[in-house]
Amino acid sequence: MNKSELVEVAAKEAGITKAAADKALSAIIGAVVTTVASGDSVTLVGFGTFKSADRAARTGKNPKTGATLKIPATTVPKFTAGTAFKAAVAPKKAAAKAAPKAAAKKK
């Protein structure tokens, strides 16, 4: 699904125009990007968390020549899926993880 398809679905679900849905989605994306770029995180309960993460410097290899090169440290965006999102994508895995926790609480 691309952005225009997402806007179409959001407009239909919310009962608003595509222009209004596009404006709202663009505002949300802009707010997430600005917040994460400033070093803070954005948590949408049940969906996930957007944050920045530091990636350490490392050595890599040029696949064409085989020469080693230094890759500098950098900051990258990171998304961690929330529990409800994970359960919706892989319901069997989520149920399997919840079962041992539920059994431990009963004891």
Q: What is the pLDDT of residues 51-72, one digit of tens each?
A: 999 999 999 999 999 999 999 9
- Tokens 């020469």, residue located: 67
pLDDT higher than 60, residue 107: no
- Give the separation between CA 36 and CA 53, rounded to whole angstroms: 10
**What percent of the chain has a predicted confidence (pLDDT) above 70?**
86
Spatial distance between the Cα atoms of 27 and 21, rounded to a whole number of angstroms: 10
Residue type at 58 in one-letter notation: R
Residues 36-46 have pLDDT tens digits of 999 999 999 99
Model pTM? 0.74
Q: Which residues have a Cβ under 8 Å from the Cβ of 42 and sit 6 or more positions away?
A: 31, 32, 35, 36, 49, 50, 51
Closest by Cα among 18, 13, 52 to 32: 52
The angle at the Cα of 66, spanning 64 to 68, to the nearest 5 degrees, equals 120
Residue 106 has pLDDT above 70, yes or no: no
Task: Give the model's pLDDT for residue 91.
Answer: 85
Boundaries of every domain in the chain? 1-40
pLDDT in tens, 68-103: 999 999 999 999 999 999 999 998 765 666 666 655
